[in-house]
C-alpha cells in the first residue's frame, strides 16, 4: 500500500473485560505496521461503562497508544449513540469502526482500506462465513459515485 491517508478508527467498548486494553494496544500497533503509510487515529468510546476504564487502564492505553482519545459519558446510551458521539470527534477523511476485540482478518481489513482509498464512499461489513466478497451496490441513489459493500465473516 503506497497511499498516504489518515483514518480514524472507532472502537465502541461497553464494560470490557479485564485486560482488554493490552489486546487493543497490541492490535492497534499491528494495524499501524501492516498498513504503513496510513496514519490511524484511535477513538475508544466507553458508552457509560461501569467497569473497564479504571485510571490505570486509561493510563495504559494513553502510554501504549499516544494520541488515543477515550470518550466517556453517562449514562449508557447504546452502540448507535456511541458511534455518533465518536464521529463528532473525528477529524480524518475516512472513518472505520469495529469492535474492540478486532474480529476480522488482516486480509479483510486490508480489503476495506483499499476499497476506501480507491474511491468508495462507504464500505459496509456484514458478519457471516465469507470474508472476501466485495460488491458494488446499485447506483440508484448515488449514480455518479461508486458505493461498495464488503462482506466479512467470523468463524
Q: What is the pLDDT of residues 133-143, one digit of tens each?
A: 555 554 444 45
Kind plus residue range of the DSSP H or E element containing 60 = helix 55-64
pLDDT at 128: 58
- Confirm if 134 and 115 have CB atoms less than 8 A apart: yes
Whether pTM > 0.85 for this model: the answer is no
User: What average pLDDT is seen over the chain?
Assistant: 84
Q: List Cα–Cα distances, 22 to 2, 8, 52, 56, 105, in angstroms.
A: 29, 20, 12, 12, 19
Per-residue pLDDT of the chain (155 residues; tens, 9 = 90+): 556 799 999 999 999 999 999 999 999 999 999 998 999 999 999 999 999 999 999 999 999 999 999 999 999 999 999 999 999 999 999 999 999 988 888 888 888 888 888 888 788 766 655 544 555 554 444 455 544 444 443 33
The DSSP letter of residue 66 is T
d(CA 20, CA 55): 14
Amino acid at each position: 500500500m503506497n497511499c498516504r491517508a489518515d483514518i480514524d478508527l472507532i472502537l465502541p467498548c461497553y464494560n470490557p473485560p479485564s485486560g482488554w486494553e493490552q489486546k487493543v494496544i497490541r492490535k492497534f500497533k499491528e494495524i499501524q505496521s501492516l498498513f504503513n503509510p496510513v496514519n490511524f487515529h484511535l477513538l475508544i468510546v466507553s458508552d457509560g461503562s461501569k467497569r473497564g476504564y479504571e485510571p490505570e487502564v486509561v493510563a495504559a492505553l494513553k502510554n501504549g497508544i499516544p494520541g488515543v482519545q477515550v470518550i466517556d459519558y453517562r449514562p449508557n446510551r447504546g452502540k448507535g449513540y456511541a458511534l455518533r458521539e465518536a464521529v463528532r470527534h473525528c477529524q480524518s477523511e475516512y472513518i472505520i469502526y469495529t469492535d474492540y476485540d478486532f474480529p476480522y482478518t488482516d486480509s479483510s481489513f486490508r480489503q476495506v482500506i483499499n476499497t476506501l482509498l480507491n474511491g468508495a464512499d462507504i464500505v459496509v461489513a456484514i458478519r457471516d462465513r465469507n470474508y472476501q466478497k466485495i460488491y458494488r451496490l446499485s447506483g440508484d441513489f448515488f449514480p455518479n459515485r461508486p458505493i461498495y459493500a464488503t462482506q466479512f465473516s467470523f468463524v
